[in-house]
Structure 1
Amino acid sequence: MHVPDGFLDAPTSVATGAIAVGALAYAMKRARHEQPDDRTAPLAGLVATFIFAAQMVNFPVGAGTSGHLLGGALAAVLVGPATAAMCVSVVLVVQALLFADGGVTALGTNITLMAVVGVGAGWLAFLAARAVLPKRLPSVPVAAAFGAFVSVPVASLAFVGLYAVGGQAPIPLDTLTAAMVGWHSLIGIGEAVITGLVVSAVIALRPDLVYGARDVVATTPLEIREGAVL
């Protein structure tokens, strides 16, 4: 999913850079509401660190193609969509500047695709799944996995749209669309599995720290056993 330098023309790269800057400026304001106290704020750093490490590990999806975690939906469920956009953006900046993973001139494009579109699509799909699933904690990882699956091909379609506007490589649009959506749908399955497992693990230990589960935790009645409040 990381777009290299020169794959899109200069006007398209500048436009996506402007989108990225505007989206991150808005996310910085919204993040204050998502992380209102010192109890939940440190989780954002842990999420960014986990995504950075997880993106270094590729998993095979077939025919010599591999994929890696994008992490947008996972971060959105754990810390909120605005904070997630900032976490993913930090990861992309570090990767571009220190590891040459994605081009520097394409940094705005990559932030737009993964930190804006990926996070946004994953969060909206998560909310849609939550709306039809029972309002219980076990439903949160299922909805998170669905959001993760949806976010990957949607982000790939967004890239196809950008390529249609300013693509520089000699690749037919229909061929690119079929390849991007097809392979990224398979990658989305891996994304869903990882996201569901991670969210399940966090909920099992500290459901109160999961942004996407706050409404469920708030309505869960207290259960008292042998003098302890659970």
Structure 2
Amino acid sequence: MDFEGSYWLYHENHPHTERLLSSGLLLPKVRTLRLKNVFPPSIDVLCALKAPQLVELDIDFDFDDDLDWEFSQPVLSFVKRSKCDTTLRLFHLRYAFMKTKELSATLRGLPFLTHLTLESVTTDTTASLLDAFEALEDGPQPYLPNLEALDLLRLQPDLYFFPLLDFLKSHRPYRMENGQPVFTNPQDTFKQLTVTYQTMPKKNQELEGSEAVKVLRKWGGVSVSIGPILYED
């Protein structure tokens, strides 16, 4: 279902709409639901759907910098109405900009997931989306206890990654003795982590392109030599 970035409009008080929102449009054979180029507030389209056999949910947003929209409520309500907690195992979220609490609340409400993909997801906190993993630690239950694979794609290169390390250690706790790890629990379900980073263009030398430097060099009789920005491995 491709929204092409458009807004999903409906008349809330229309009888047909009321019936649709109360019971949900039944999609009995749908196992994979992909919502593409979703305008963020239009995610409430999930309130009109019901997919009891859903295995995979893939949500791809049309980027918007407005944070004033709900995500966890429509997603978790959709899952609850669909009663697909026994089948839903894969969740992909792409190109989203949202509040950290919305992301963490969503993940906490999907403990049965085995595969999670977060691609180009950013949040309202300085540490970006990994703050959501840190927030999950504060919950009363183990977070994402059945997770087998985690894909974090197109991360910002300067991401604060310590919450991710804490998440990994929570799934395979250990302590170091004589330079060797001693694992405190048997291996759980978690088996795979994939991380990729956004490609960042090298910064242009702003001083080199400034008007004053150009004028002094060309007409002012000043020899100007400016070295490149160097990047250290």
TM-score range, shorter chain: under 0.3
Higher relative contact order, chain-length normalized (CA < 8 Å, sep 6+) = 1
TM-score, normalised relative to structure 1? 0.24
More strand by share: 2
Which of the two has greater helix per residue?
Answer: 1
**Greater Rg over alpha carbons, structure:** 2
